[in-house]
Amino acid sequence: MIIGFVQTKGGTGKSTLAVNTAFSESMNRQFPSIALVELDPQGTLKSWWEERDDMGLDPGKVSFHHISSTQKEVFQQGIKSISDFNELMIMDIPGESTGKLHTRFACAFCDLVIIPMRMSTNDESAFMSNLYPIIKEIIRAVPEKKGQFHVLPVFTHPLLNSRHCFDYFEDILPPQISCLPAVFPARTVYENFNRKGFNLNEYAKLVESNKKYTHQVTKAIEDIEKISQTIISIGKECDDSK
């Protein structure tokens, strides 16, 4: 299965979601090998991965790949060859820094495209003017791709009723895009550890003795497992309909 987290707008949780779903228990139970792929030339995840390496943290089934080439053939060949060797591939797909052609190729290559989006008119209009035209082009060229594009509501208030988010997005999204039946709530825990090379499970071990942090990280792990399970089941539906 090939999954992409894509947004032309920065700071919507793409990289955080890519990393933590790759290390989630649900994904690791389901797939023998997992490739985490960063397509951003800035290399945020690359630095994160290098910190892990320096600390000697166990990557388990997850391998990391950074494709930074802006040359079309190198970029496309890189993506194809990684997907040949891994049962699950999770891509962090940026917008501006790679250019439209690269974003379009990466999205078209995915079985499932997840678009993290806040409930804000700002994010909606950015989506409609930047990412949506790319998605429309893909669907026009390959109509079977319809049904593979899903918005994931992000940074929602932890106490907000998810039903409210789904209704909101179903209302404003164009018909080719649906809302994933899961949310990525705002959690302060991400501010505490994200940059240091740990994944959520490793961070949970680190703060075991602190009740408050343990409560927060447990909630965050639950969010990620729910998102991963939802992705797996939607991915299966897409597979069955092929």
Interface contacts to ligand ADP, rule CB under 6 A: 7, 10-16, 155, 184, 186-187, 190-191, 194
Q: State the nearest-atom distance from the C-beta of 227 to ligand ADP, in Å.
A: 10
Q: Pick from 19, 39, 61, 173: which is nearest to 110 by CA?
A: 39
Nearer to ligand ADP, 17 or 138 (CB): 17
Q: State the nearest-atom distance from the C-beta of 199 to Mg ion, in Å.
A: 15
Stretch that binds Mg ion, among 12-20, 132-140, 192-200, 220-228 (CB under 5 A): 12-20
Amino acid, single-letter form, for residue 41: P
Joined tokens for residue 166? 């789904």
82 vs 7: CA distance, rounded Å: 22
How distant, in Å, are the alpha carbons of 90, 92, 214, 222 from that of 236? 16, 21, 33, 21
Compute φ and ψ for 43, nearest 5 degrees.
Answer: 70, 40
Nearer to ligand ADP, 57 or 186 (CB): 186
Stretch that binds Mg ion, among 7-15, 96-104, 190-198, 224-232 (CB under 5 A): 7-15
Q: Which residues, numbered 117-176, are part of the site for Mg ion (CB under 5 A)?
A: none
Q: State the nearest-atom distance from the C-beta of 216 to ligand ADP, in Å.
A: 10
* Torsion region of 195: left, alpha or beta (phi above 0 gives left; psi -120 to 50 gives alpha): alpha
Nearer to ligand ADP, 117 or 177 (CB): 117
Q: Which residues, numbered 15-74, are part of the site for Mg ion (CB under 5 A)?
A: 15, 44
How distant, in Å, are the alpha carbons of 51, 138, 187 from that of 197? 5, 35, 18
Stretch that binds Mg ion, among 6-14, 27-35, 48-56, 116-124 (CB under 5 A): 6-14
Q: Pick from 216, 207, 184: which is nearest to 114 by CA?
A: 184
Q: State the nearest-atom distance from the C-beta of 32 to Mg ion, in Å.
A: 27
Joined tokens for residue 127? 């989506």
Q: Pick from 81, 62, 69: which is nearest to 43 by CA?
A: 69
CB 133 within 8 A of CB 26: no
Q: State the nearest-atom distance from the C-beta of 11 to ligand ADP, in Å.
A: 4
Nearer to Mg ion, 95 or 185 (CB): 95
Q: Maximum Cα–Cα distance for the chain, whole Å?
A: 54
Could you say which of Mg ion, ligand ADP, none residue 98 binds, taking C-beta under 5 to 8 angstroms by partner kind? Answer: none
Nearer to Mg ion, 11 or 60 (CB): 11
Could you say which of ligand ADP, Mg ion, none residue 181 binds, taking C-beta under 5 to 8 angstroms by partner kind? Answer: none
Nearer to ligand ADP, 44 or 86 (CB): 44
